[in-house]
Amino acid sequence: DEQLAVLQAMIDRMEEAVLQQDQARYYTLNVGFHETMVSFAGNKKLLSLYRRLTRELELFRRRNLTEPALLLSSINEHRSMLTTIKSRQGPQAAEALRQHVLMSRERTIRNYLKHEQTPLPESSKT
């Protein structure tokens, strides 16, 4: 229950960051939330793999976490995951986590395509 309280407090701080339009703080809290969840599994190999993966995806994650509406969607997904974990609903928690991953993937693809189609400013073209 202490671990659940830690995760709840992290979600609450992420929501505060969104309301204060502090995207940098939200990003840091979001990364911390995910790493904390993984660390609570107690699997050092999984945590090491997770950290390598997040280093690879950092640029994409930063781009995904810039629009307030997307940040609020992310928070709602986190709340859904935590609610199912709190109620000890294993299959539902797994599904909430899977949906969060799928939605994050969708946000990443949309953001990539959006930035790919944005022309460079004249001063940066060579």
The answer, yes or no, to whether residue 63 has pLDDT greater than 90, is no
Whole-number pLDDT of residue 2: 96
Could you identify the residue written with the tokens 């830690």?
6
Query: What single-letter amino acid sits at 41?
Result: A
Whole-number pLDDT of residue 111: 77
The answer, yes or no, to whether residue 92 has pLDDT greater than 70, is yes
Check: CB of residue 58 under 8 Å from CB of residue 50: no
Burial of 85 (0-12, 13-18, 19+ CB in 10 A): buried
Of 40-44, 52-56, 119-123, the range with the highest mean pLDDT is 40-44
- Enter the tokens of residue 67: 């629009």
The answer, yes or no, to whether residue 64 has pLDDT greater than 90, is no
Share of the chain above pLDDT 70, in %: 92
Distance (Å, whole) CA 44 – CA 46: 5
Which of 96, 102, 101, 103 is CA-nearest to residue 82?
96
Could you identify the residue written with the tokens 């992420």?
14
Whole-number pLDDT of residue 65: 76
Whole-number pLDDT of residue 83: 95
Q: What value does the mean pLDDT of the chain take?
A: 87
- Enter the tokens of residue 98: 């899977």
**Helix or strand or coil: residue 66?**
coil
The answer, yes or no, to whether residue 89 has pLDDT greater than 60, is yes
User: Residue 29: how many CB atoms within 10 A of its CB?
Assistant: 21
The structural domains of the chain, ordered by start, are 2-117 (1.20.120)
119 — pLDDT class (breaks 50, 70, 90): low
